[in-house]
Chain A
Amino acid sequence: MTNTRIALLGQPNSGKSTVYNALTGSRQHVGNWPGKTVERNDGYYTYNGTRYTVTDLPGSYGLSGNSDEELITAAFIKMRQSDLTCILVDASQLERSMFMVAEFALLQKPAVVLLNMMDVAKAQKKEIDAKLLSERLGVPVLPFTAAESRGYDGLRTLLAAELSVPHTIRTAPAVDEKADAMAQSEAKYRWVAEMLDGVTHTAAPDYRLSRFDRVATSPVKGKFGLCADPLLYGADDVDRLQGLRPHACALRSAQRYDHGAATLSQGSLEAYPEGSPSEGMGYFQTRLEHSHTRVADLLYLLFQRKRRYSKQPPLSHRYGH
Chain B
Amino acid sequence: MKLAETRADAHGTVRRIRGDAHFINRVTSIGITEGTAFQAVRNDRKMPVLLYCRETLIALNRADAERIEVAV
Q: Which residues of A contact B (CB under 8 A)?
A: 61-62, 64-67, 92-96, 99, 180-182, 185-186, 189, 202-207, 209, 217-219, 247, 250-251, 253-255, 257-265, 270, 272, 274
Q: Which residues of B contact A (CB under 8 A)?
A: 11, 17, 21-31, 33-35, 37-39, 41-42, 44-48, 50, 52-61, 63-64
Interface contact B48-A265, CB-CB below 8 Å: no
Residue from A95, A202, A272 with most neighbouring chain B CB atoms (10 Å): A272
Interface contact A219-B48, CB-CB below 8 Å: no
Among A67, A180, A217, A274, the residue within 8 A (CB) of B21 is A180
Among A205, A207, A258, the residue within 8 A (CB) of B61 is A258
27 A-B pairs with CB atoms under 8 Å apart are A65-B29, A66-B22, A67-B26, A93-B54, A95-B31, A95-B54, A96-B54, A96-B55, A180-B24, A182-B34, A204-B37, A205-B11, A205-B37, A207-B41, A217-B42, A217-B50, A254-B61, A255-B61, A261-B26, A261-B27, A261-B30, A261-B58, A261-B60, A263-B59, A264-B56, A272-B26, A274-B26
Residue in chain B with minimal CB distance to A253: B59
Whole-angstrom distance from the CB of A95 to the nearest CB of chain B? 5
Closest CB pairs A-B (n = 5): A185-B28, A61-B29, A207-B52, A254-B48, A181-B24
Asked whether A96 and B33 contact (CB < 8 A) given A251-B47, A255-B61, the answer is no
Interface contact A66-B25, CB-CB below 8 Å: yes
Interface contact A185-B29, CB-CB below 8 Å: yes
Interface contact A251-B26, CB-CB below 8 Å: no
Interface contact B25-A181, CB-CB below 8 Å: yes
Q: Which residues of B contact A254 (CB under 8 A)?
A: 48, 59-61
Interface contact B56-A93, CB-CB below 8 Å: yes
Residue in chain B with minimal CB distance to A100: B29
Q: Which residues of A contact B46 (CB under 8 A)?
A: 219
Interface contact B23-A259, CB-CB below 8 Å: yes
Interface contact B30-A61, CB-CB below 8 Å: yes
Report the separation of the CA atoms of residues A261 and B65 in the bound assembly, to the nearest whole angstrom: 9
Residue in chain B with minimal CB distance to A192: B54
Residue in chain A with minimal CB distance to B58: A263
Interface contact B55-A202, CB-CB below 8 Å: yes
Interface contact A96-B30, CB-CB below 8 Å: yes
Asked whether A262 and B58 contact (CB < 8 A) given A219-B47, A251-B48, A255-B48, the answer is yes
Whole-angstrom distance from the CB of A183 to the nearest CB of chain B? 10
Interface contact B39-A65, CB-CB below 8 Å: no
Q: Which residues of B contact A272 (CB under 8 A)?
A: 26, 30
